[in-house]
Structure 1
Amino acid sequence: MLKHKCLPLVAPLDQEDLHRFTDLISDKNWIIPVTVLLQVIPVTVAAHGFWKTRQLKTQLRIEREHTKQMQIDRFRPGYHAGQPQSLADHPHHGLLHH
């Protein structure tokens, strides 16, 4: 319905253009691998960026959860920030204190 209005009209290849294209490819056959390589490089960079971003998001999620757990643990009874808990109520009051 709207196809004829949205898509540009492309003229069919005439024999002269086709002949020129095949001559170019046969004379300079290195063009195909170079063209493919130029298309592969951006795809490779994009894929690497996608996977690296995904990996860093996962690492960030783990670190956030670890931070939440540390904050929750701070308010638990008997928690002393990873330090050993003393047996006395006031460890600074020794035998010499009167």
Structure 2
Amino acid sequence: MHNRKLITLTAAAALMAGSATAMAQTDNSQTMPSGMSIGEIASALEDKGYTRIDSIDREMDRYEVDATDPNGQRVELTVDARSGEVLRSERDDD
């Protein structure tokens, strides 16, 4: 009888630990925005002719990037984190 209680308690503890792990994984995936990595964003911008990419900062679903555009102008870019599309480009006068 004592062994049966011990097995039941061990099984219950294992199920609870598994549930907690699954919930933590679910919560983590919900808080971590998906999208391209910083390296992938840099490569995508270089493919579009941008150079001197000095700064790439993640802001939720977008990246803020300081770079030189294909015309040689310093710009501040807003880039979609999922697609790599340049959403906004403003001349950087700093």
TM range (shorter): 0.3 to 0.5
TM-score for the superposition, normalised by structure 2? 0.42
Query: Taking CA–CA contacts closer than 8 Å with sequence separation of 6 or more, which of the two structures ends up with the larger relative contact order?
Result: 2
TM-score for the superposition, normalised by structure 1? 0.40
Q: Give the structure with the higher percent strand.
A: 2
Q: Give the structure with the higher percent helix.
A: 1
